[in-house]
Chains A and B, each alone.
Chain A
Amino acid sequence: MSNSAKISNKDSFEIDSNKPVLLLGEGKDEVNFFTGLVTHLGLNVSIQIAQYAGKTNLSVFLSNLAAQTGFPSLRTIGITCDADENYSATLESVNHSIHHTNLPKHIQVKTYILPDENKSGALEALVLEAAKSSPAWNCVERFIECVAPNDKLSLSSNQTDKRRMHAWLSTLSKPELRLGEAALKHHIPFDHRAFQSITDFLTSLVPVTKDQ
């Protein structure tokens, strides 16, 4: 989106100094998705969520954080990022952005590359793993098989996952929802084992209190 189009900043992101953890996603859909998951896990008291507008902007976004009023109260930053085609390269890129930023030492930074360790793909791959248990899954696969011969361009596995995601989302009771919106409206089965690893990551971001 062009900057000129965004003339209003009414819903701007500000660091909440009452929440010691900042979880970062690549875009708005990720923010909505993780808001749904974090709320489902009851971690929203400690975790706030923001987007960094894509991998290439991560380093600048992190440097911008320091100018935020609530920044000194942050204790942990959790960065999520889609592996896309190459898990290792993505991890290296994220680590480079972190080191380039010179965040203060009191802030712990943890990284989670989606969909899971050493796997290529994106957030969609993670959700699709859970969606396979849904009654409509066979219909989704049949749809994919049906349209594949008509593809003029060969889709990457990531793109195919996105196609599957749209097809599956369209089977929900509110077929117009995007993935993040579906998560916010409790349509994603967050208790599925597919989300165990990301759940463990999110839980690890929250400091353990003495009475826990």
Chain B
Amino acid sequence: MFDKLTIEHFRAFEKIEIVPLHRVNLIAGGNNVGKTSVLEAIWFALQDNPFTSPETQTSRAQALFRRSSIDYRPHTQSPPDDIDNFWKWLFPQKDTSLPISIGLSSSVAPLNDRVLTFRFEGAQLHATAGKVHSTLGQHSSSSVTPPVSAPECITLATFHSSPVVDAERVNAVSVINRDDELVTYLRLIDPRIRKLKYLKLPGHQHPYVYADVGFGKDKELIPATQLGQGTARMLGLFASLMTEQARVLLIDEFENGLQHDAIGPIWSALGKFARDNNVQIFATTHSFECIAAAHKVFAENADDFAVIKLRSDPTQGIAAFVLDHANIDVAIETEMEIR
């Protein structure tokens, strides 16, 4: 688990240090303060080679985090390695004179520390990424492309997957014999769920996931898409995390599309999953209800959760404040704005 994030000269950040990181980190702050940029920075830092597949990387980063931002058009005219339309925007005000540096470090496991740098030399953009050999103080070069499926690989919950994709993920979970475990986590959100089945029904083009929720006398299976929206969303997410063995989960705008009363159970399930599987979660939110629900859920494991409040000021730039259980308690009690 990482306990420190440093970002320099990236997007709107001149220099920011976020410490200590927790198992579940909920990023809050005003509009356009840089919440999504923090996720983006973490995502970049976890890539073993940001240039491994520029088309894939830029498309994923843009499509998942910034669908309507700048004039990058991943599937149309703009080439995916368009420096002006994508890569220069990673630098503050497109000022490429200083390098971007993003670091993730762990005091417990320093050998897993990650550092990413982007710098321009003339018109050429260079990146150095990968693990830090902390004893030497040098970064390993990415000249040799490592496998994409590094242990730090991540899953992005903003990705709205299809029921077909989710079905394949659930099937993959069955292959590794973890489907009971998957049901255990989903039951924290919807206790009716007894079993999941990957089925291709006659007349259907694709297999889908069906759930036994004890419906009717014959315990008729219902399509997983008919479960609550939060449950259906988490089905794909948990299955993806389990099959990819992800260690970091990034969620942009956590509360999007969720009913308020579903948020608490989802936090319960995510929190248990994160603890059981050593996953670290970074999520952004605009919602006080989302913060309050997480605060309540994690009260028994208070050390697992913190709100990272970003504050923007015209003269001082963007600063980050880590609000722990006591801070959030008092903020709620005094009705202080913490979104």
Contact = CB atoms under 8 A, between A and B. Distances in A.
A4 interface: yes
B327 A60 contact: yes
A37 B224 CA distance: 60
Interface stretch (B78-86, B129-137, B248-256, B306-314): B306-314
7 residue pairs, one from A and one from B, having the closest CB atoms: A67-B321, A9-B288, A67-B309, A12-B337, A14-B337, A60-B330, A53-B333
Nearest to A27: B334
A52 interface: yes
Residue in A4, A14, A67, A69 whose Cβ sees the most chain B Cβ within 10 Å: A67
A85 to B, nearest CB: 24
Nearest to B316: A72
B327 A57 contact: no
Interface string A60-83: 110110111101100000000000
Interface in B305-339: 309, 311-313, 315-316, 321, 323, 326-327, 329-339
A7 B311 CA distance: 23
B151 interface: no
Contacts of A72: 313, 315-316
B311 A64 contact: no
B321 A66 contact: yes
A51 interface: yes
Interface of A: 1, 3-4, 6-9, 11-14, 50-53, 57, 60-61, 63-64, 66-69, 71-72
B295 A13 contact: no
Contacts of A6: 292, 332-333, 335
A11 B288 CA distance: 12
Contact of A68 (B260, B311, B316, B329): B311
Given A64-B323, A71-B311, A72-B315, A50 B334 contact: yes
Nearest to A54: B333
Given A3-B292, A3-B295, A60-B327, A69 B334 contact: no
Interface of B: 30, 260, 288-289, 292, 295-296, 309, 311-313, 315-316, 321, 323, 326-327, 329-339
Contact of B333 (A1, A4, A7): A1
Contacts of B335: 6, 9, 11-13
B334 A57 contact: yes
A12 B333 contact: no
13 contacts: A1-B333, A4-B296, A6-B332, A9-B335, A12-B336, A13-B334, A50-B334, A51-B334, A52-B330, A66-B311, A69-B312, A69-B337, A71-B311
Residue in B30, B295, B309, B331 whose Cβ sees the most chain A Cβ within 10 Å: B331
A57 B295 contact: no
A63 B52 CA distance: 43
Contacts of B311: 66-69, 71
B298 to A, nearest CB: 12
A34 to B, nearest CB: 15
A11 to B, nearest CB: 6
Nearest to B326: A60
Contacts of A4: 292, 296
B333 A67 contact: no
Nearest to B310: A67
Given A6-B292, A7-B289, A67-B323, 12 more contacts: A3-B292, A3-B296, A6-B333, A9-B339, A12-B335, A14-B337, A53-B333, A64-B327, A64-B338, A66-B321, A68-B337, A69-B313
B227 to A, nearest CB: 24
B321 A53 contact: no
Given A11-B335, A13-B337, A14-B337, A53 B330 contact: yes
Given A12-B337, A14-B337, A51-B334, A7 B292 contact: yes
A47 B93 CA distance: 36
A9 B337 contact: yes
A53 B337 contact: no
Nearest to A61: B330
A64 B331 contact: yes
